[in-house]
A and B are shown apart, each in its own frame.
Chain A
Amino acid sequence: AQKVTQAQTEISVVEKEDVTLDCVYETRDTTYYLFWYKQPPSGELVFLIRRNSFDEQNEISGRYSWNFQKSTSSFNFTITASQVVDSAVYFCALIPNQAGTALIFGKGTTLSVSS
């Protein structure tokens, strides 16, 4: 089965705290792609990162970092020194096998950052 699990439904933190959003995926394919999207209250989906299954290198982009662990089928997302503007719903998603197929989304994690 192809599936993405985001076990954390809601997380609340205070500004400047670090927060990690968990993502666990299931797929039988050896080639696949993992994504994180941010959905602010306006509704549009903001692309954050794409990772292919052959690239386990962790990535850092400013306050954002991602930890891809094939051994545990996880692709966790950490926000360092969170800010109020980070408040949004974050989705982890999977495209199994080759390009051209639709994304399979997790249920999303709602992050609330208070000042």
Chain B
Amino acid sequence: GAVVSQHPSRVICKSGTSVKIECRSLDFQATTMFWYRQFPKKSLMLMATSNEGSKATYEQGVEKDKFLINHASLTLSTLTVTSAHPEDSSFYICSRIPPGTDGEAFFGQGTRLTVV
């Protein structure tokens, strides 16, 4: 079964509204989780690293104020797309890698965001 649960799988929102995407680690307390964005027919680009109890680390070019990441507990990280615009439409996917292993990553099911 899934070890990382991501919700919602699909969301349509109006321009200017905010959308929250949840990513839950079901079998492991994850101090670190990762958020990726995938444009149509493109690769997955790392947006940010979510750190439990501290601020997220954003990749260059990713707007911190637009993509708010909160990792309030060891099993939940959230990505909020604020004041969404059509260009924010994309596929967002989270993952977690347990520390101390040799790096196997598990991914959520992904969220397809459409901003109209």
Asked if A pairs with B, the answer is yes
A: residues with CB less than 8 A from B are 33, 35, 37, 43-45, 47, 50, 52, 91, 95, 98-108, 110
Residue contact B43 to A102, C-beta cutoff 8 Å: no
Question: A-B pairs with the 3 shortest C-beta distances?
Answer: A99-B103, A33-B103, A45-B107
Residue contact A105 to B112, C-beta cutoff 8 Å: no
Residue contact B107 to A44, C-beta cutoff 8 Å: yes
Residues of chain B with a CB closer than 8 A to A91's CB: 43-44
What is the interface residue range for chain B against chain A?
Answer: 20 to 34
Residue contact A43 to B109, C-beta cutoff 8 Å: yes
Compute how far the CA of A43 lies from the CA of B112 in the bound complex, rounded to whole angstroms: 9
Residue contact B105 to A105, C-beta cutoff 8 Å: no
User: Quick one: closest A residue to B112, CB to CB?
Assistant: A43
- Besides A44-B107, A107-B42, 4 other CB < 8 A contacts? A47-B104, A52-B103, A99-B100, A101-B97
Compute how far the CA of A110 lies from the CA of B102 in the bound complex, rounded to whole angstroms: 28
Residues of chain B with a CB closer than 8 A to A107's CB: 42-43
Residues of chain A with a CB closer than 8 A to B104's CB: 47, 50
* Known interface pairs A47-B104, A100-B32; A105-B97 also in contact (CB < 8 Å): no
* Known interface pairs A99-B97, A100-B32; A47-B44 also in contact (CB < 8 Å): no
Compute how far the CA of A108 lies from the CA of B98 in the bound complex, rounded to whole angstroms: 25
* Option from A43, A100, A106 in Cβ contact (under 8 Å) with B91: A43
* Known interface pairs A105-B43, A106-B43, A107-B43; A100-B99 also in contact (CB < 8 Å): yes
Residues of chain B with a CB closer than 8 A to A98's CB: 103
Compute how far the CA of A18 lies from the CA of B97 in the bound complex, rounded to whole angstroms: 33
Residues of chain A with a CB closer than 8 A to B106's CB: 47
Compute how far the CA of A33 lies from the CA of B106 in the bound complex, rounded to whole angstroms: 14
Residue contact B110 to A44, C-beta cutoff 8 Å: yes
